[in-house]
Chain A
Amino acid sequence: MKITLTVNGSRRELEVDDRRLLADVLREELGLTGTKVGCSHGVCGSCTVHVDGRAVRSCIMLAVQADGRAVRTVEDLAAPDGTLHPLQQAFSEEHALQCGFCTPGFLMTALPAVEAGAPLDAGQARELVSGNICRCTGYDGIVGAVVRASAICAGAAASGAEAER
């Protein structure tokens, strides 16, 4: 079937086999290999991307189901000059990754709440990423990174509001 996806802001027209998973189309057709496929049945969270602004599992969504929608992947987080998104920077500073395979999924899962501009405590951060599996870190670094990034984004939102006044 012929589909149109807006991927990280660019409109892409694709001819895909109906059975193709969104994760595979992103990786293989569009070369966006940041999105990882771990368990292939929606349990590990490493394939998490945004469709129309909501975090979903791209391994249990067909590409045709996303026809006409906006898809955002981990490749969209860093600035074109390579400057990391505050959430990515916080993952680095808190040692929230080791092998890195699960990291794109954690980033895309945590991103909506972090960008919402309210600081999260450790309990909220843990709940937020509870659907993602990491086999390296033991999660403390990840929870710390989400807390740190949410505080930074909340601070930026507050000072932005201050500047507007």
Chain B
Amino acid sequence: MKPSPVTYHAPATVAEAVGLLAEHGDDAKVLGGGQSLLPLMNLRLAAPARLVDVTRIDGLGAIERRDGAFELGAAVRQAQAEDDAALAAACPLLAAALPHIAHREIRNAGTVCGSLAHGDAAAELPAVALALDAELVVHGPRGVRTVAADGFFRSFLETALEPDELLAVVRLPVAPPGSGAAFHELARRAGDFAIAGVGAQLTMRDGTVTEARVACIGVGAAPVRARAAEQALAGGRADERTIAQAARAAAAELEPSEDLHASAAFRRHAAETLMRRALHEAAARAESNGREAS
């Protein structure tokens, strides 16, 4: 239960980090807070020869609002995001999701970008990025590219990142006025990985849903955007019947797998129930935020 031999690098700049990744390729692994990577290394499920710690890079530890979005650098810890009131107000789905990630002691070390780059299908932050149409700013030896969250999360622990690339910044769009969000999940123990989970952010104006963003975790090889639910909700009222229809339509499209913890049918049923709850709560918060704004 100890990591195999490894060489640790703590570059001070993105260019230096990218240089190390370019030099060592598959042998190197980017290290954020290490809250997913270190357990894998202890269990010898991962044995990188080099670690490139990006949390000491100047400028990547900031949470900044720019052009209608919040930018979070690769060194931003989950607890730091959780404690940022301006970020919570602007990105309510992120604020709703963060407390579900393991426990505070893990969020004190774990980074937002690290969770996205790890790409666990049962993790909360990939679903948040997907639902919000986040942009991921990726640095590599071939330059800088911006990748849409839709398409970034490919399969089990597989993302659009190349081994020599670094996820430097995630850009989360600010929610329109009158938005509310909720994140509901089912886990065997608070803080465990979710058997199924749903994040929803609704924007309401005069009782009508103007924008619906919904994503599910734990029900596939990657987080799943619940487009059927979004379409069922947009332009209508978030009443009991519409929410039930939206959740049913989205659950019918899911193709969850079966494992030790739950059957596929149970996961689909759980996702539908969690989605109904999340949508009700998000709608209530959106209406309340809309009243405060006006």
Interface, chain A (partner B; CB < 8 A): 1, 17-19, 21, 24, 40-42, 45, 48, 51, 54-57, 59-62, 64-65, 67, 109, 127-128, 130-131
Q: In terms of DSSP, what is the predominant structure of the interface of chain B?
A: loop
A-side contacts of B55, CB under 8 Å: 65
Q: List 30 A-B contacts (CB under 8 A).
A: A18-B5, A21-B3, A24-B2, A40-B1, A48-B105, A54-B79, A54-B108, A54-B109, A55-B108, A56-B105, A56-B109, A57-B105, A57-B109, A59-B38, A60-B39, A60-B42, A61-B34, A61-B109, A62-B34, A62-B51, A65-B8, A65-B34, A65-B55, A109-B105, A127-B190, A130-B103, A130-B190, A131-B103, A131-B105, A131-B191
Q: Which residues of B contact A128 (CB under 8 A)?
A: 104
Q: Tell me if B42 and A59 are in contact (CB < 8 A).
A: yes
Q: Which residues of B contact A (CB under 8 A)?
A: 1-8, 10, 31, 34-35, 38-39, 42-43, 51, 53, 55, 79, 102-106, 108-109, 190-191
Contacts of B4 in A (CB 8 A): 19
Which residues does chain A contribute within 8 Å of B31, judged by CB atoms?
A: 65
In the A-B complex, the 5 residue pairs with the smallest Cβ-Cβ separation, listed nearest first, are A131-B103, A40-B1, A60-B38, A41-B39, A18-B8
Given contacts A60-B42, A64-B8, A65-B31, 4 further A-B contacts (CB under 8 A): A21-B2, A45-B105, A60-B34, A131-B106
A43 — nearest CB in chain B belongs to which residue?
B39
Interchain nearest-CB distance for A83 vs B (Å): 27
Residues of B within 8 A of A65 (CB): 8, 31, 34, 53, 55
Chain A positions within 8 Å of B5 at CB level? 17-19
Inter-chain contact B43/A41, CB cutoff 8 Å: yes
- Contact status A42-B53, CB under 8 Å: no
Contacts of A56 in B (CB 8 A): 105, 108-109
Most chain A beta-carbon contacts within 10 A, residue among B5, B43, B104, B190: B104
> Cα distance A128–B3 when bound, in Å?
29
- Greatest chain B CB density within 10 A among A48, A64, A109 is at A64
B191 touches A42 (CB 8 A): no
Q: What are the residues of chain A within 8 A of B39 when measuring CB–CB? A: 41-42, 60
Taking a contact as CB atoms under 8 Å apart, the answer to whether B106 and A42 are in contact is yes
Q: Which among B2, B4, B8, B34 has the greatest number of chain A C-beta atoms within 10 A?
A: B8
Separation in Å of the B95 CB from the closest CB of chain A? Answer: 17
Residues from chain B with Cβ under 8 Å of A17 in the complex: 5
- Which among B2, B7, B55, B105 has the highest number of chain A CB atoms within 10 Å? B105
Check B108 against A40 for contact (C-beta < 8 Å): no
Give Cα A48–Cα B103 distance, bound, in whole angstroms. 12
Given A41-B42, A61-B38: A19 and B106 within 8 A (CB)? Answer: no
User: Separation in Å of the A5 CB from the closest CB of chain B?
Assistant: 15
A17 to chain B, nearest CB (A): 8
**Alpha-carbon distance between A55 and B2 when the two chains are bound, in angstroms:** 21
**A67 contacts B10, CB within 8 Å?**
yes
Residues of B within 8 A of A61 (CB): 34, 38, 109
- Nearest CB of A to B106, in Å: 7
Contact A131 B104 (CB under 8 A): yes
Of A1, A40, A130, which contacts B8 at CB under 8 A?
A1
B56 to chain A, nearest CB (A): 9
Minimum C-beta distance from B19 to chain A (A): 19
Known: A21-B2, A65-B53. A55 touches B105 (CB 8 A): yes
Nearest B residue (CB) for A39:
B1
Which residue of chain A has the shortest Cβ distance to B109 in the bound complex?
A: A56
Partner of A62, one of B38, B43, B105: B38
Which among A24, A56, A127 has the greatest number of chain B C-beta atoms within 10 A? Answer: A56
* Docked CA distance A157–B233 (Å): 50
Shortest Cβ distance from B38 into A: residue: A60
Which residue of chain B is the closest to A105 with respect to CB atoms?
A: B105
Instruction: Determine the residue in chain A with the shortest Cβ distance to B103.
Output: A131
- Complex: how many Å from CA A24 to CA B106? 18
Provide the residues of chain B in CB contact with A40, threshold 8 Å: 1-2, 42
Q: Give the chain A neighbours of B8 by CB distance below 8 A.
A: 1, 18, 62, 64-65
Query: Is B191 within 8 A of A130, CB to CB?
Result: yes
CA distance A21 to B103 in the complex (A): 20
